[in-house]
Structure 1
Amino acid sequence: MPAPVTFTSSVLEPYDRGAELGEHFRAEIAATVAAYRRLFAARAGSRTFDVDLWAGRAWESILDLAPLHAEEIAGIAAGAGRPVHEIAAINARTELLVAANPTGISECSSVVSLPEGRAPFAVQTWDWYHAMSDGWFHWRIPHPDGRVVETVTEFGMLGKIGVNGYGVGVMLNMLHHAHDAARVAEGTIGYPVHLLSRRILDEAQSFDDAWKIAQAPTSASTSLTVLDAEGTAATIELFPGGPGRLDPSDGLLVRTNHFVSPEGEAGCLAATLGTGSATRRAKLEQAFAAGPPASPEQVVTAMTDHDLTEDGAGAICAHPDRDTDPVLWHRTLATVALDVAGSRLDVRPDGPCGHRDS
């Protein structure tokens, strides 16, 4: 099993940091751009979807809503020798996938544990398209005041799952809401959800800070599950017209890919993808019905689950269904544990079982 690639930035200014990353991972970023172009086309199917048009819209939105991150994206593009709209598309890939086709895949399971007398922690499976199996890395980003942001992300993307030097951690689970299609029809892109995650990692000193940051207008539904070193945690369910909020119950918070907050559940479209999200959440809540887990290892053990429901869904540790289009195969690409008290993350390639194939 290959170890994940870890890269530590050596410069602090956004443009220079991006340029350094782009130059270092030039080949990997080119491969990511190509993989997503294939994926956008496969997701669109018979629909007409102009990738470059939507990538340009993404860049305009980033310039308007996230100017500091626009500098970093421009640096990545320069370092990698790519047009800037291609790097914008990677950072807004969730939004572009929704624009290509509002339906998607049921992916990712997250657990936050707030055990009494112990430090809070969280574990997530990152389930995504098989084509991106080698398209991600562990990025360490120093800040001028000595803080370090650690994130597991894709080549060319500014952030995803991570933890910062203030002891704030973020996990992501994709959602699907009826309001997403309306934003697509308008031809607009909101604040890209992966850039929101990076902004929280860059700026938030507490959950309350993250909640304020997450009020930005979005166009693709996603849940950001945030916890801090003081033991405050909740899921922020982002959707056009949101957000909603879901708090832990008895020291446990489990998230998959359906809306649970009162604000979002009326428009939830998860059932159109099958029973997988509800099944995975029920399995993990049942595994810890007696109380929140005491260690990340307990969570990983519970996540080593391959049992499928009748509709072929519901496995927490996911492997490709090889009877489908290979471009659309999906599986668990990584398992990430967040130690917010220590401002550290641990990432293991592949699913909790440690294997790429079933």
Structure 2
Amino acid sequence: MDLPLPMISVSGTPRECGIAYGIAAADLIAANTANYMARFSTSAGLDAERVHGYGALFRAASHRHAPRVAAMLDGVAEGSGVPVEEIYALNGRTELIYTAEPHECTAIGVLGERSASGHTLLAQNWDWHPDQRPFALLLATTDELGRQVVALTEAGMLAKAGLNDAGLGVCVNMLGTRLDRPDGGAPYHVLLRAALEARHLAAAIKAVCATPRGASINLLVGQSFPGGTPGEAIDLEVAPGDVGFLHPVDGVLTHTNHFETALSAHDTLKAIGGSSFFRAARARRLLGAGPIGEDRVRAVLRDHGGHPQSICRHDEPGLAQADRSETLCSLVLDLDERRMSIAAGPPCTAGAYHDVWLGKTV
């Protein structure tokens, strides 16, 4: 299969999946972990001892609140040979460095009532530091119950955006508040995986709301429903101790990296500024009226309004190293077809999107 990223397919219990993933991607996981250990030091002033301490806290919280995800991460450490505390710190990298390294993404949801196909669509540009490009991969898992997930992630992590065989999908944006702290609960990427493993929309929402967390996060969650029942999508703005909800307007949801609901927590982006404050509104406007086809969604993901800090984000080498960011991957999820279409970013230069179907690739 011609894909822009490596794909690793594993099966078994969560621990078995983790071990197999760790073995298959051992070199990438070791290199990615070493890269982040250096960034924890340079960006956040954390030496290895403190990183291991946070990793142990993340592991304990994960086992309490997301035990199947924790079993998989323990397996990743076992299979890859990377210390387990470093694997959990890797999955908590948002908690450890995001306040020092703010980066941006754009997410889109389109209900079947607005999509040209009648299908529920989610889409996203994943914007992150260009040095992380070599460590991006697709992880496809089939658990011991036959349940399937395919997710975009970084080597050693379990999920960012993705979908499962129940027709449930997740896209993600970083958020930040003054309440964020590295020791507040299950890590950002554990919470993402827990939501992505849910079998129905309410369970995904429960996983997000009920799991204590130290980092703020935005999840755009959708699900297609069987029997011709229209699908649904909801946006969850999650901060430590609080959650805000956004619902589709005229069948469309968009979100970037600032809060749009009135949570009590102070949005730290207000003290930084940036393109987030216009990208979500611009994406909604560019989607336009009438039926929305995937071609139009992809055109929005390629948009250069406000370049280089546009929806299609481009690197600015003149920036400080910690501030550099670009669109590393662009993807569209058709939840009815159980299909992920993905391009290596920036999408303006990536050419074709490549299709991955659940059931055909895992």
Q: Distance in 1 between matches of 2:48 and 2:14?
A: 35
Is 1:68 the counterpart of 2:68? The answer is: yes
Q: Deviations over 1:195-232 (max 9, x none)?
A: 12211222x23222211111111110000110010321
CA-CA distance at 1:120 after TM superposition: 1.0
Read off the aligned partner of 1:217 and give its amino acid letter: P
Q: 1:119 to 1:195 in 2, by over 3 A?
A: same
**Which amino acid letter does the alignment assign opposite residue 83 of structure 1?**
P
Q: 1:162–1:280: structure 2 CA closer, same or farther, 3 Å change rule?
A: same
Q: Distance in 2 between matches of 1:141 and 1:30?
A: 21
Matched, 1:105 2:102: yes
Give the count of matched residue pairs: 341
Q: Deviations over 1:119-171 (max 9, x none)?
A: 11011000011111011111111133333111111111111111011110001
Q: 322-331 vs 216-225, which deviates more?
A: 322-331
- Counterpart of 2:199 in structure 1: which amino acid? Q
Residue 296 (structure 2) aligns with:
298
Q: Give the alignment's Cα RMSD to 1 decimal.
A: 2.4
Matches within 5 A, 1:255-334: 255-263=255-263, 267-291=266-290, 294-308=292-306, 314-326=309-321, 328-334=323-329
**2:142 aligns to what?**
142
Check the 8 A contact 1:42/1:328 in 2, yes or no.
no
AA at the equivalent of 1:318: R
Aligned match of 2:341 in 324, 341, 346? 346
Using the TM superposition, name which of 273-282 and 149-158 deviates more: 273-282
Maintained 8 Å contact 2:140/2:148: yes
Q: Identical aligned pairs, as a percentage?
A: 31
TM-score, normalised relative to structure 2: 0.87
Distance (whole Å) between structure 1 residues aligned to residue 83 and residue 304 of structure 2: 41
- What's the offset of the Cα at 1:327? 5.4
Could you tell me which residue of structure 1 aligns to residue 4 of structure 2? 3
Q: CA deviation at 1:21?
A: 0.9
Moved more, 236-245 or 346-355: 346-355
Partner of 1:81: 81
Shift in alpha-carbon separation, 1:83–1:57, aligned structure 2, 3 A? same
Q: Distance in 2 between matches of 1:208 and 1:237?
A: 16
> Structure 2: which 5+ residue stretches go unaligned?
226-230, 352-362
Counterpart in the other structure of 1:198: 193
Contact map agreement 1:319 1:330 (CA 8 A) in 2 = yes
Give the corresponding residue for 1:159.
159
What residue number does 1:248 align with? 248
Secondary structure class of the residue paired with 2:349: coil
Asked if the contact 2:218/2:235 (under 8 Å) is kept, the reply is: yes
Ranges of 4+ aligned residues in structure 1 off by more than 6 Å: 46-49
CA, structure 1 residues 324+13, in 2 after alignment: closer, same or farther (shift >3 Å)? same
CA contact (8 A) 1:126 1:332 kept: yes
| Matched AA of 2:9 | T
Task: State how far apart, in whole Å, the 2-side matches of 1:217 and 1:46 are.
Answer: 23
Deviation at 1:318, TM superposition (A): 1.1
